[in-house]
Structure 1
Amino acid sequence: MSTTLTALIAEDEPLLAANLQAELARAWPELAVVANVGHGAAAVEQALALRPAIVFLDIRMPGMTGLEAAQALAEDWPTGDAPLPLVVFVTAYDQYALQAFEHAAVDYVLKPVQPDRLAQTCTRLRAALQARTTPAAGELDATLAQLRSLLAAPGVGAQAVTPGAAPWLTVIQASVGNAVHLVPIGEVLYFEAADKYIRVITAAREYLIRTSLRDLLPQLDGQRFWQIHRGTVVRAEAIATATRDESGKVHLTLRGHADKLVASRLYAHLFKAM
């Protein structure tokens, strides 16, 4: 069996991607870059297909961001297979925003990539890969905890919302033909991303609204509406039961509705007995 270490680079600026690959070749000649892609969706697709040991993800990419790509990998990575790739974020963030990365213990490199800093990253990655020769219990949990921390960090994963700056959304305005239906937020069972739209599911019917989940989330009361998957947000009061399977995912049933939802491993921590 081949023991070649492999990596994937996701960077939407070709010159920066080429520079990172060249610097990696100098800092870590044994590391083979098996794919160099320009957006987050391709990063997820290629990582799931090629199973690299390491992924370098640009935070700001068109469509799916680097953080969302890491979230997708954590949700879609097969259990019982190769361990999740080690993630290094490539970013132009300032020092204030970088505190979130430091706190989460996820490594990062700044643009443009500096050889000395990249060498430090490679040293950390070698140590982390060496530790993986004997898989540690709770390694997946630690990775998921790091991602949760980043997803919740203002200015990194979540948009900063000043308490009291604006009231939470109370009504969804959904167009149906020539009419606009005003749907009270308390009637919504869950929201589900669907291409450029969001499906709004109530006990009585389904609506479509033309917005993104990324834009909708900051308008929802996080105590009432829980994100359970990168594409799904559910009203907590609408959940009847939560059952965890062997892979760590949680299957949800709803009150007064036949739909069943799945909470990914990344959000399974929300469902613990009191």
Structure 2
Amino acid sequence: MFDFNTYQEFLFPFAYNILGSADDAKDAIQDALNTFISLQNKKIDNPKAYLIKSVINTSINKKNRQKKFISENITLPEPIATDTADNDLYLKDIVSYSLLILLDQLTVKERAVFVLKEAFHYSHNDIAEVLSSTPENSRKLLSRAKTKLKKPSQKNLISKTKNTEEYINNYSTAIRERDIKKLEQLFTNDITMIADGGDKIKVLRNFTYGKQNCIELILEVFNKFQSQQNARYIEVNHQPAIAYFDNDVLSSCQVFSINQDQKIFKISSVVDPEKLKNIAKKMW
């Protein structure tokens, strides 16, 4: 029997890693499943392979349409909770948040090849089959993608470790106590901050660079908005994060990129309510 729920969970990382949005990923999967159901009277030798190919190409087309609309605001991917109680087996295939941001530098085809090769370990022959291309073209697209993504800080990114929660709690304590010296110790000199408030929440449109500038902004935001909110440590896209709640409503999520020297080199703040709703559902 065809199990919709199992296939939806299995296909989700393929679509999400290309689209960077949970709702868009679910739409792409639903489109692929609807097409598959309409073909049930035809013989499909490998339904799993058929659905992966369909979801990948549907996601590529959807992403291409989205890229035509350029927003003046900074846009970040929708974060996905990866430390949920249901321990979804397929969440391991979700790429890190830092990488997801970098993937927006690529063309959609480059992104698809990179995701299939690096996240799902597809061969170039298999990628060519999925994209109706050739292995040679797949290799070229991967090479271009890797060239564009070369960033020293990305190579040094670490995911959650047994001490990460304590580390982030130290960061929170330093903010509450306005311990500037401690914050300076936690940050790299070239730390970057970025925020996405969508169309509803006003945030800075530009990146904030440098240790001192970031500390000033963090303390200002904390004093204005977060000092009366409840903070909770979570994990999104396999990276440490803090969720801030205002009267039990999730108001923002800060995602931390930490290097191997245990220094924070990037803080990505998602304030857009539309990009927080799926995390909020998972947390209750």
- Normalised by the length of structure 1, the TM-score is 0.29
More helix by share: 2
Give the number of the structure with larger relative contact order, counting CA–CA contacts within 8 Å between residues 6 or more apart. 2
- Normalised by the length of structure 2, the TM-score is 0.29
